[in-house]
Amino acid sequence: MGSNKGVKVILVVNDSPAFNNDVLVGDILLTINGRPIASPETLGPRFEELSGTTVELGIMRGEKSIAKLVSLNPGY
């Protein structure tokens, strides 16, 4: 992939925002609203900060780069 940044999805919970928006196990989350995701430790606080909003996730799926809009539950 050419980068040390991003977070690999290892679990998707049924009926979660990720599940409902077809985020898949194995996807690599690269950005939230265009801002890079540096590590797993920064992902949780970013989701908390944006809870209750719709975010655009930049995702690497295999060789393909995609964007998905995901509505985060309030109080994530």
Architecture of domain 7-71: Roll (2.30)
> What is the pLDDT, as a whole number, of residue 73?
87
**Digitized pLDDT (tens) for each residue of the chain, 76 residues in all:** 566 779 999 999 999 989 999 999 999 999 999 999 988 998 889 999 999 999 999 999 999 999 999 999 887 5
> What is the pLDDT, as a whole number, of residue 13?
94
Q: How far apart are CA 62 and CA 48, in angstroms?
A: 27
> What is the pLDDT, as a whole number, of residue 75?
72
Collapse the DSSP code of 17 into the 3-class scheme (helix H, G, I; strand E, B; otherwise coil) and give the result.
Answer: helix
> What is the pLDDT, as a whole number, of residue 5?
79
Domain ranges of the chain: 7-71
